[in-house]
Structure 1
Amino acid sequence: MANRGDTMGLVRNGISDSMPIVVGYIPACITFGLVGKSLSLDNLEIFLLSAVVYAGASQFIGAKLIAAGAAAPIVLLLTIVINLRYLFISMSFSDKVDHSSSKRARGVLGFFLTEEVYAVSMMSKTNNKSKKHLFAYLLGLELPPYAITLLSTWVGIMLSDYIPGSILPAFNTSIYVLLIALIIPQLIGSRRNKVIVITAACASFVLQPFLGDATVLAAMIIGAWSGGKVSETKDGVDLT
Structure 2
Amino acid sequence: MAEQQNPVMDENLPRASWREGVTDSLPIVIGYLPVAFAFGLNATRLGFTPSEAIFFSCVIYAGASQFVITALLSAGASLWIAALTVMAMDVRHILYGPSLRQRITQALNPHKTPFWAFGLTDEVFAAATAKLYRDGRRWSENWMLGMALCSWLSWVLGTVAGAFSGNGLLDNYPAVEGALTFMLPALFLSFLLSSFQRRQRVVVSAALAGSILGMMLFSIPVAILAGIVFGCLAALLPPTEHGSLNE
TM range (shorter): 0.7 to 0.9
Contact 1:203 1:219 in 2 (8 A): yes
The gaps in structure 2 that reach 5 residues or longer are 1-13
Q: What is aligned with 1:229?
A: 237
Where do residues 1-240 of structure 1 align in structure 2 (5 Å cutoff)?
A: 10-97=17-104, 98-102=106-110, 104-124=111-131, 130=137, 133-161=139-167, 162-164=169-171, 166-167=174-175, 168-187=177-196, 190-212=197-219, 213-229=221-237, 231=239, 237-239=245-247
Q: What is aligned with 2:4?
A: none
**Residue-pair matches, total:** 229
After TM superposition, give the deviation of residue 91 of structure 1 in Å.
2.0
After TM superposition, give the deviation of residue 234 of structure 1 in Å.
11
Contact 1:192 1:233 in 2 (8 A): no
TM-score by length of 2: 0.82
After TM superposition, give the deviation of residue 69 of structure 1 in Å.
3.5
Question: For the structure 1 residues 136 and 126, does the alpha-carbon distance in structure 2 shift closer, same or farther, using more than 3 Å as the test?
Answer: farther
Contact 2:18 2:143 in 1 (8 A): yes
CA RMSD, 1 decimal = 2.7
TM-score by length of 1: 0.84
Contact 1:14 1:140 in 2 (8 A): yes
Contact 1:39 1:67 in 2 (8 A): yes
After TM superposition, give the deviation of residue 35 of structure 1 in Å.
0.9
Q: What is aligned with 2:5?
A: none
1:229 and 1:235 mapped to 2: Cα distance?
12
Q: What is aligned with 1:3?
A: none
After TM superposition, give the deviation of residue 233 of structure 1 in Å.
9.4
Deviates more, 1:120-129 or 1:160-169: 120-129
Contact 1:191 1:232 in 2 (8 A): no
Contact 1:14 1:127 in 2 (8 A): no
Question: For the structure 1 residues 31 and 110, does the alpha-carbon distance in structure 2 shift closer, same or farther, using more than 3 Å as the test?
Answer: same
